[in-house]
Amino acid sequence: MSKGCHKKIVLVIEDEVNVRNFASRVLELDGYRVLQAENGDECFRLMRESQIDLILLDLKLSSDDGWLMLQQLKNDPELSSVPVIVFTASAAASQRAHAMAVGATDYLVKPLSAASLRGAIARILKRRYVSMPSRKASVLVVDDNEEFCQNIADILKLKGYEVVTVYDGFKALELVKQDGFDLALMDVRMPAMDGVATFKKFKEVAPDTPVIMVTAYAAEDLIREALREGVYGFLKKPLDFDEFFRLVAQATGQGAQILVADDDVLRWKKCCCYQTI
């Protein structure tokens, strides 16, 4: 964190002392000021007393309902703009999707790793505070199905994104070393190197780039592994396009991006994607 800037304040809400102290220590070493709370009362008291920049919230608190706290934070006009990273032991994709729909900015899986914690917080605060020139968000699409890649690329381009497509993990890694991207969409099942293995190497090269994984399979073991490694989100084929655009917009910080229902071109592309997946 650069000198001359005030320390960003992170509020850690966790009733397990070891987890709370671990997260606090990691963040303090990175130059953040950390406040701690064990329950909802302490959380809302600190929120009123201090200018919190980000909240780290355990969804499974012994004395309070973390889900209810998340809803209360997002329904409060004075507090709703503060980003909330939630974490829990569950790696279920459905639970992650629900948390993001309620208003969470990111979702981490216990046991927390220092790398995933640092990466998520740095990415979110950079997007919140760093003023960037107006430009199109860039998306890298990685899938061995070339027709699917092209359909997704065409849809994203129509919505104002810059898109590059590649058809295997090795090419994706070569490309990301040369160019920066705001988001990567990556298939789980690919020949030579699967999406999870690609993601692990991708993190080493571009740790601040969020990755959304896409799969047509109920590969719960791979989903759990990827979530524990810090993947931004999961989408299942055939794609739910409302969820697709919401998650892409959230990951790139581009605001709400809604599929236009009566746009013939987008409707045609939507059909193509369902048929070719």
Read off the pLDDT of residues 180-214 as tens digits, 9 standing for 90 and up.
Answer: 888 999 998 888 888 888 988 988 888 888 899 88
Are 97 and 198 part of one and the same domain? no
Residue 16, in any domain of the structure = yes
Same domain, 14 and 102: yes
Asked which of 106, 129, 152 is the last residue of a domain, the reply is 129
Q: Please give the pLDDT value at position 64.
A: 80
Q: How far apart are CA 277 and CA 274, in angstroms?
A: 6
Grade residue 219 by pLDDT with cuts at 50, 70 and 90: low
What gap in Å lies between CA 168 and CA 182, rounded to an integer?
19
Give residue 11's pLDDT band: very low, low, confident or very high (50, 70, 90): very high
Which of 129, 153, 186 finishes a domain?
129
Whether residue 142 is predicted with pLDDT greater than 60 in this model: the reply is yes
Q: Mean pLDDT of all residues in the chain?
A: 82
Look up the CATH number of the domain holding residue 203. 3.40.50.2300
Instruction: Tell me the pLDDT tens digit for each residue of 90-110.
Output: 877 778 888 888 889 899 988
Give the SS3 label for residue 237.
coil
Same domain? 207 vs 259: yes
Residues 101 and 20 in one domain: yes
The count of structural domains within the chain is 2
Last residue of a domain, one of 108, 129, 150: 129
Helices (H) and strands (E) in the chain, counts: 11, 10
78/258: higher pLDDT? 78
Long-range contact set of residues 21-25: C-beta below 8 Å, sequence gap at least 24: 22/112, 23/56, 23/112, 23/117
Task: Report the candidate in 227, 219, 1, 222 with the shortest Cα–Cα distance to residue 113.
Answer: 227
Rounded distance between C-alpha atoms, residue 229 and residue 232, angstroms: 10
Kindly report, residue by residue over 15-59, the tens digit of the pLDDT. Answer: 999 999 999 999 999 999 999 999 999 999 999 899 999 999 999
Strand ranges for 65-119 from DSSP E: 84-88, 106-109
pTM: 0.61
Give CA separation, 264 vs 160, 191, 216, 270, 271, in Å. 17, 34, 26, 10, 11
pLDDT reading at 84 higher than 90: yes
Q: Tokens 């581009």 sit at which residue?
A: 254
* 49: in domain: yes
Domain span at 32: 9-129
- Least confident piece of the model among 88-102, 155-169, 252-266: 252-266
Q: How far apart are CA 274 and CA 238, in angstroms?
A: 5
The Cα–Cα gap between 211 and 207 comes to: 10
pLDDT grade for 115, boundaries at 50, 70 and 90: confident
